[in-house]
């Protein structure tokens, strides 16, 4: 089994910064795509940023130029550096990953989420 655990969320003022981390654990052979999604109350979960194993990235238009996704393959961890935060960034942020284990084919996993609140 594979588990994704997010950390780094919290309360920050508009214009501030946060860095989210997501660590994968379990019998991991290889992690392919990793990404961050977010969901605000009453809204649909949306993709924020994604990064492939080769390093290519995709960002939602709303966060381009402000957020940066990166990964440390040795630690099975993906990060999201969030700068110039806005109140509309307030949401629960979820980690997502495509993970291959010794016993299974590649499967998609979700973390439990970490709250990010941007407020003055």
Integer Cα distance of 24 and 90 in angstroms: 24
Task: Please provide residue 87's backbone torsions phi and psi, each rounded to the nearest 5 degrees.
Answer: -55, -35
Whether 21 and 7 have beta carbons less than 8 Å apart is answered as yes
**Can you give the pLDDT at residue 104?**
80
Strand partners, 39: 92
Whether 18 and 114 have beta carbons less than 8 Å apart is answered as no
pLDDT in tens, the chain (120 residues): 899 999 999 999 999 999 999 999 999 999 999 999 999 999 999 999 999 999 999 999 999 999 999 999 999 999 999 999 999 999 999 999 999 998 788 999 999 999 999 999
């Amino acid at each position: 089994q594979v588990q994704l655990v997010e950390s780094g969320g919290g309360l920050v003022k508009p214009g501030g910064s946060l860095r989210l981390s997501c660590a994968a654990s379990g019998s991991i052979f290889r992690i392919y795509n990793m990404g961050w999604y977010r969901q605000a109350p009453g809204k649909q979960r949306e993709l924020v940023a994604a990064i492939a194993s080769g390093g290519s990235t995709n960002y939602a238009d709303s966060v381009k130029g402000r957020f940066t996704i990166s990964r440390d393959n040795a630690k099975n961890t993906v990060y999201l550096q969030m700068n110039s935060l806005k109140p509309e960034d307030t949401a629960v942020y979820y980690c997502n990953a495509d993970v291959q284990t010794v016993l299974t084919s590649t499967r998609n996993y979700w973390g439990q989420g970490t709250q990010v609140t941007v407020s003055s």
